[in-house]
Amino acid sequence: MNTSLIKTCSVSGHSEITITKELEEKLNATFTQLINEGCAEFLFGGFGMFDDLCHKVVSELKLTYPNIKRVFCLSDPRHLRINKRPKWLKSEDYEEFVYLDLQFDWWYKRIYY
């Protein structure tokens, strides 16, 4: 395995889900396995319950694996400026904010990307 490569995991899912202990445990096990296989970046879009749950699980794992990075993928380039971000999007919840400059006309197509 080439340890110089940074592996990235991107999560996206349904906006409404049923959150169970079993689902949280499966996500924890999956993310832990990915981290142990060299995944150090986790990309989030933050538009739904599944994204929120994954962020919660990864944030808890960050206490054990402080080298992992939580990255929020913005759908609007203006939000790169802290004073232009939505109030619910907190800097302390992510290590980095990025804007994916894509050639799509509608914001929801960025999520699928």
pTM: 0.82
pLDDT in tens, 35-47: 999 999 999 987 7
**Beta carbons of 42 and 11 less than 8 angstroms apart:** yes
Q: Determine, yes or no, domain membership for 35.
A: yes
Q: Determine, yes or no, domain membership for 2.
A: no
- Domain around 57: 21-112
Q: Determine, yes or no, domain membership for 7.
A: no
Q: Determine, yes or no, domain membership for 63.
A: yes
Q: Determine, yes or no, domain membership for 44.
A: yes
Sign of CA dihedral 18, 43, 111, 11: negative
In the chain, % helix, strand, coil (3-state, to 5) comes to: 40, 20, 40
Q: Determine, yes or no, domain membership for 9.
A: no
Q: Domain tally for the chain?
A: 1
**21: pLDDT strictly greater than 90:** yes
pLDDT in tens, 63-81: 999 999 999 988 788 888 9
Q: What's the CATH code of the domain at 55? A: 3.40.50.450
Q: Determine, yes or no, domain membership for 83.
A: yes
**1: pLDDT strictly greater than 50:** no
**109: pLDDT strictly greater than 70:** no
Q: Determine, yes or no, domain membership for 53.
A: yes
- Supply the pLDDT for residue 113: 53
CA 72, CA 85: separation in Å to the nearest integer? 12
